Structure 1
Amino acid sequence: MRGAHLRTELTYVTAGAVAAVILAGALPANADEGEPGEVLVATVAEAVPELVEDAVHLANTTSGVEAVLENGEVSLPESSNEPIQVEAADGAEFSFTLPEAGSSEAGVSDGAASYDHGDGSSSVVLVNPDASVTITSVIEGPDAPSTFSYEYDVTLEQFEDGGVVGYDAAGELAVTIALPWALDANGNKVDTWYPVAGNTLTQHVAHRAEGVAYPVVADPLNYGRAL
């Protein structure tokens, strides 16, 4: 129900993308067992099962992780300090980097790639059938960062309501980015916003406020072409 509520609040949503809600209270009985990536995916599946159901299969390759798509191409890096490459089915292309707080290797489990940044935060990346990308940041405690920067190879433009789009070198729309949200472990909203500076988008999450329960889950960032 919380996932459904959040989806009604997202104004700029990539076509075919869905909001991921990872909550500590939604853990299945055995979610604390297994590898960290498996725990994250199990939590997503319990909270918003359609997110994992809709995500495409990810395959490990010699150069990183590839999404198995009928149309378009999405390549995820072996390490979080390398860019994610997206080529949509309609020809739009762009790339962007995850928050770079250390070079963590991708862990792949049940259709998701997770990157532990080694600073109390991690990124979970899922790819949808339309080649759009959903990213969720999981904040483990008050010592984790409160800002998360994503650098693009396209020109970003922000609207008055906070929505963001990106244009390629030809001036064509290449990417849309959903409005941000964040929840704490009790399902309470945490203030979050992102300013744009040049080709860098930085999400701010005010998770150190009084009464915030961890883990805090921020966004998702939904990347794709359609508004």
Structure 2
Amino acid sequence: MRYSSITTRDASSKARLIASFTAALVSGALIASSVTAASAQENDPVADAIDEAPLSSQVINEPHESASIDLATGEGSIGADNSEQGASISYDLDSGVSLVITAQDDENSAGAATTAQVLTDNSVRLLTVFTDPDASLTSSYSTEIPEGWTAAKRADGGYDIVPGTALLEGLREDGIDGDFVLATIDAPWAIDANGRRVETSFQLEGNQLKQSIEPDENTVFPVTADPSVVGHGYYFSIYYNKSETRSMRDTGAVVGFILAAGAAIAALPGGVAVTAVLYTVGAGAVAAIATVAGNASGEGRCLKLDVPSFIPTSVKC
């Protein structure tokens, strides 16, 4: 009986020990599973690449958020849209003219994730992370350029959005000349997971902006790249002949000439974008223009008006 009693108690203890050990195993498995899931979430390569991208400290919106800020020049805004329809960036002017670039969700962007970002330096970008070295290493973006304007490739591989031939010729016929750059698509860049530069280039085919990366044997994925857009507004000059300069000694004539120039430009393809800036001249600028026009006329010189600063200058003519 003693032996039997001892065996019964021993068996009961053994059962409790097994149950306790089993519970510990289950608990440990759950904890391990939780840790593994948390680690996987913390080690998301796409999220890490976005966080470590150049200028990430200047980004004002989270990857899943949309944002918009007013331009420092006060003539419009820049925005980043992250919605169910995809990621896009825009440069919108108060005149109604805008440049929009949208990431394309097709075979050209397989193995890539894209997010739209607004930066504090008045620029916007589509940050694309290439995750699969065996997928297509070209991302495609639909580009909407305002009517009358065109994209001119820069020496650094980026693009300037400038007046098309019709708009440019019309502006010059109205005595308006200078550098007309609505916005710039900055030179392309790409870096790998170790921060090494990766060869990359842009190609604009119709309305499709394509960015291709060319990794080498040392490239570590994921690779991060982007098209960035910087809005410039308008920088140009209006040249007036001697007769016009003499007339512009009167402030009323100054306003009249500026309004006339605006109306003429508005009739050109895409001209409304430039016209909007002409209509922003203030009373103080008008008085300064009239003063310089008077001095220029007295010296047999002509008036040059820089826009959008509305700084008048006396020049030879």
Q: State whether TM-score is above 0.5.
A: yes
Work out whether residues 156 and 165 of structure 1, in 8 Å CA contact, stay in contact via their aligned partners in 2: yes
Verify: 1:222 aligned to 2:228, yes or no. yes
Match of 1:93 in 2: 98
AA matched with 1:69: I
Give the direction of change, closer, same or farther, for the CA distance of 1:89–1:33 in structure 2 (3 Å limit): farther
Question: Which of the two has higher C-alpha Rg?
Answer: 2
Task: Decide whether aligned partners of structure 1 residues 212 and 156 sit closer, same or farther in structure 2, where only a CA change above 3 A counts.
Answer: same
Change (3 A) 1:46 1:164: closer
Structure 1 counterpart of 2:116, from 117, 125, 138? 125
Which one-letter code corresponds to 1:182 in the other structure?
Answer: A
Q: Which has the higher helix share?
A: 2
Residues 121/193 of structure 1: CA separation in 2 closer, same or farther (3 Å cut): same
Residue 188 of structure 2 is aligned to residue 180 of structure 1: yes
Is the alpha carbon distance of 1:132 and 1:125 closer, same or farther for their aligned partners in structure 2, counting shifts above 3 Å? same
Counterpart in the other structure of 2:125: 134
Q: CA deviation at 1:139?
A: 0.9
Give, in angstroms, the shift of residue 176 of structure 1. 0.6
| 1:1-227 equivalent positions in 2, closer than 5 A | 32-33=40-41, 40-41=46-47, 43-45=49-51, 51-57=55-61, 66-71=66-71, 72-74=77-79, 76-80=81-85, 83-87=88-92, 93-101=98-106, 119-129=110-120, 131-154=122-145, 155-167=150-162, 173-207=181-215, 209-218=216-225, 220-226=226-232
**Residue 159 of structure 1: CA displacement?**
2.4
Between the aligned partners of 1:66 and 1:157, the Cα distance in structure 2 is: 29
Closer, same or farther: CA 210–59 of 1 in aligned 2, 3 Å: closer
- For 2:163 and 2:88, locate their aligned partners in 1 and report how far apart those are by CA, in whole Å: 16
Task: Please give the root-mean-square deviation of Cα atoms over the aligned residues, in Å.
Answer: 3.6
Distance 1:214 1:73, change over 3 A: closer
Structure 1 runs not aligned, ≥5 long: 1-29, 103-116
Q: Which runs of 5+ in 2 are unaligned?
A: 1-37, 72-76, 169-179, 234-317
Q: Deviations over 1:4-63 (max 9, x none)?
A: xxxxxxxxxxxxxxxxxxxxxxxxxx8842696xx7455544565xx4443234698xxx
Give the TM-score, by structure 2 length. Answer: 0.44
1:203: how far off? Answer: 0.9
Percent of paired sites with the same residue: 24
Contact 1:156 1:198 in 2 (8 A): no
Q: Secondary structure at the match of 1:182?
A: strand
Query: Does the Cα contact within 8 Å between 1:86 and 1:94 map onto a contact in 2?
Result: yes
Closer, same or farther: CA 87–174 of 1 in aligned 2, 3 Å: same
Distance 1:123 1:59 in 2: 9
